[in-house]
Amino acid sequence: MIASSSAVERFRHEALLYANEAEFLAGTVGFVRDGVRNGEPVLVVESLPRIHELRSALGGDADQVEFADMAEVGSNPARIIPAWQDFVDRYPTALRLRGIGEPIWPGRSADEVVECQRHEALLNTAFATGRAWWLLCPYDVHRLPAEVIAEAHRSHELVTSGDGVSSSSRFRSGTLSRLPLSAPFPEPQSVLGSYSFDRNSLAALRHELLDVIAGSGLSKSQGLKFALSVNEIATNSVQHGGGYGTARVWVEADTAVCEIRDDGFIDEPLADRRRPGAEASASRGYWLANQLCDLIQIRSGPAGTAVRLHKRLHGDEPRLRVMSP
């Protein structure tokens, strides 16, 4: 069912559709063992239960595999591509690499699912050139909505199921990564505060934000991180979005949200997914904000750009944890 590694001469992005544990293991164990046997570095980014299942099924081969908890790596979906890039960069002399990553699971919020789907599409852009490696993305067809599975067919060139592996007739790599950028945001039910800002009022915006979210449930340290991330995006608006912008803040469910709008236009689909370079001129706003926030959404078009920053009211920042051999 799984093609040999000799077929991987570029980035191969494949969805694995499974309905139960047996189908998950049938689609992943051989994939991992082939990589180990061929001397290919393998990283599995999965839920802890799936990691335990794979470790048990792999036996001694598990000692040759890196594992990481997707609930930590991908809590904010924008952090997943940099994690995969780090993996690829760690093995500069390897001819091929393999990965397993399952970013969408039951319980993800609707906003998180959209950003995960954008992530899956952006993988095709991020790794279109460069190293040859194979990424297998499992999808639980029994517990995920049909529209999520349909989207997987559009973001993956190949799809594996009980019938074997086949090319997806619905695959759209070039345009799909840009579509969510132009979809409008829904309006919030209520807003706690609205502000206009320019270069001279960024400090005032930070203080106003801290005041208005003081009673939202964010701890002091979380509030400071949230304000810092908002400052990064607002500074980006001042520098690249026309010199000014507007901000709105509200709370929905268990999350504080701040929306920044400006007159700029983002034409780089990976603007919020690339690790900034070491040079002083490198833009770090989106990168830093994604490290501090639980979710960032971007919508950009001819009428301007809107960025929504989400910070959960409870819980600490998730951290990358890799369980190495």
In this predicted model, what pLDDT tens digit does every residue of 267-312 receive, in sequence order?
Answer: 888 888 888 876 544 468 899 999 999 999 999 888 899 999 999 9
% of the chain at pLDDT higher than 90: 74
- Region of 191 (left: φ > 0; alpha: ψ -120 to 50; beta: rest) is beta
41 Cα distance to chain centroid: 22
Q: Parallel, antiparallel, or unpaired for β 42-46 and 97-101?
A: parallel
Q: What is the pLDDT of residue 1?
A: 42
Whether 324 shows a pLDDT value over 50: the answer reads no
% of the chain at pLDDT higher than 70: 89
Q: Where are the alpha helices (DSSP H) in 173-321?
A: 173-176, 179-182, 202-212, 220-240, 285-292
Q: What is the pLDDT of residue 271?
A: 86
Average pLDDT, integer, range 242-250:
95
Average pLDDT, integer, range 24-39:
97
CB atoms within 10 A of CB 149: 16
Q: What is the pLDDT of residue 322?
A: 42
Rounded Cα distance, 192 and 5, in Å? 54
Q: What is the pLDDT of residue 177?
A: 53
Q: What is the pLDDT of residue 314?
A: 77
Which structure tokens are listed for 25?
Answer: 């293991």
Tens digit of each residue's pLDDT (9 = 90 or more) over 140-156 = 999 999 999 999 999 99
Q: What is the pLDDT of residue 163?
A: 84
Residues 108/146, Cβ–Cβ less than 8 Å: no
Q: What is the pLDDT of residue 281?
A: 45
pLDDT class of 179 with cuts at 50, 70, 90: low
Cα distance between the two ends of the chain: 27
pLDDT class of 100 with cuts at 50, 70, 90: very high
Residue 108 has what DSSP assignment? -
Rounded Cα distance, 1 and 258, in Å? 46
Which structure tokens are listed for 50?
Answer: 């799936």
Q: What is the pLDDT of residue 321?
A: 40
Tens digit of each residue's pLDDT (9 = 90 or more) over 118-143 = 999 999 999 998 889 999 999 999 99
Average pLDDT, integer, range 240-266:
93
Q: What is the pLDDT of residue 268?
A: 84
Q: What is the pLDDT of residue 315?
A: 55
Q: Parallel, antiparallel, or unpaired for β 66-69 and 42-46?
A: parallel
Residues 265/301, Cβ–Cβ less than 8 Å: yes
Q: What is the pLDDT of residue 175?
A: 53
Q: What is the pLDDT of residue 5?
A: 43
Tens digit of each residue's pLDDT (9 = 90 or more) over 68-95 = 999 999 999 999 999 999 999 999 999 9
Q: Which of 221, 229, 249, 240 is nearest to 294 (CA)?
A: 229
Task: Return the higher-pLDDT residue of 287 and 176.
Answer: 287
Which structure tokens are listed for 2?
Answer: 């799984």
Whether 183 shows a pLDDT value over 90: the answer reads no
Amino acid occupying residue 155: S
Residues 148/138, Cβ–Cβ less than 8 Å: no
Cα torsion 106, 145, 299, 278: sign:
positive
Q: What is the mean pLDDT of the chain?
A: 89
Residue 156 has what DSSP assignment? -
Out of 89-93, 160-164, 175-179, 318-322, give the one with best mean pLDDT. Answer: 89-93
